[in-house]
A and B are shown apart, each in its own frame.
Chain A
Amino acid sequence: MSEMTAGNRRLSARSKARLGFFARYATIIGLVAMIVLFSVLSPKAFPTVLNFTNVLNQASLTMIIAAGLTMAVIVGELDLSIGFAASLHGILVTGLIVSNELPIPVAIVIVIGAGALVGLLNGLVVTKLKVNSVIATLGVGTILTGLAFAYSAGVPIVRGVPDAFLDISLGRWVFGIPNNILIMASVVAFLWLLVERTSIGQEIQAVGGNPAAARLAGISVDRIKILGFIISGMCAALTGILLASRLGSGTASAADSYLLTAFAAVFLGSATLRDGEFHIVGTIIGALIIAFGFNGLNIFGAPTFSQYVLQGAILIIAVGLSSLGRSIAES
């Protein structure tokens, strides 16, 4: 058989090890290098507790939606509906509070339930109708955008949003730490535990890693995939709620741009520490890179267009690193 594989490019053990190290630690080294660089260039504005807290506070929403997306990609699917879903849920939660005068906790619970429903819908379309997840979630996401415009009639819900609702995102209820950071930390900790330390998490990893083997091992592959979409949908809903609370309004398409940022974070993360495998800790590191990168650009007053260029470049580099890691793991 050696003749038949001789044509394949084989990496030597040493260059493989070196490449593997590079791929695994490139993101972390990049993050540290960036923080050092910005600190040297702007010692007064950048390396301060205030700035770091701000960066983390702003990144919290990205981290929550990206952690949710991580669950969808770990089970081997993509969820492109999350940005649109978050926008809709932001409008929905303000609408329920302002127009329907529901108590805030009730409105939040309803909206997170709606997020789970959107995830369930995505999951059913993908597993039962066998629609490719890119198409399925793009379709569902577009429908959600339509619903968002229908619900808000295209006009942002601004008036009558109670301060108590704004306080969720803006408050610092425990030890002066911004609520966003605490909420993000709990979500991330919960999902990390779920994936890494529970039996469901083992099944989730198995389904993403080799669906055929998972199925023959007796795992209900469809159920696990649907669960991945549901968690992704709930995280998108939570992000939408927190964004509405931060903006003080429900606006159609307010959260749409989270989609690309979340993808960049997830793929950067998959290139981190593990060879091209998606995981929660990686996603958080990916999100930090993006957050500090944009923060640095802001501090140096870089023009708006450069942020788009950076975002696109990060996405491409992230996916490239991720597939490099995978090909090394498989070679």
Chain B
Amino acid sequence: MDIIAVVQEMVVGGFKSIFGIAIIVFPLMVVLEIIKDLKLFDKVSFLTKPISRLFNISDEAGMPILTGLIFGITYGAGAIIQSAREGAMNERDLYVVNTFLVLCHGIFEDTILFAAVGANIYIILIFRVFTAVAITFLISRFVKENQAVAKTTFSDFKG
């Protein structure tokens, strides 16, 4: 093993990797900040409504999905907790929103970083979004019945 060559590969490669990531992360963070400061989020109820309708959840549950989708799961969870505290989301909403967000969140940052190391950006993005939408759609139909059953059993038990 040629130690000098290995160390050289480590240092050069390490710096190259960081640089490659920095030139993506900086512009992305500025764009996200612009979206936040222009309050573009408050103007997108036309985007959250179709989401809510597709998954058959309350209108308020659409916003955590959009927040998490763009800014990441931590922000999404923050929005979920906020909506839940306001009483705007029921248990079924919680499951549906969580299902979607675990599969698909922070799409710009994650997707672009993996594309930077050599993944096909269209395939990873489309496949992930499609998988999340398909699974969440199925779950949203399934949880409805399941939840109803659970509630009956619970009230029966209580009664």
Q: Do the two chains belong together in a single complex?
A: no
Residues of B within 8 A of A (CB): none
Residues of A within 8 A of B (CB): none
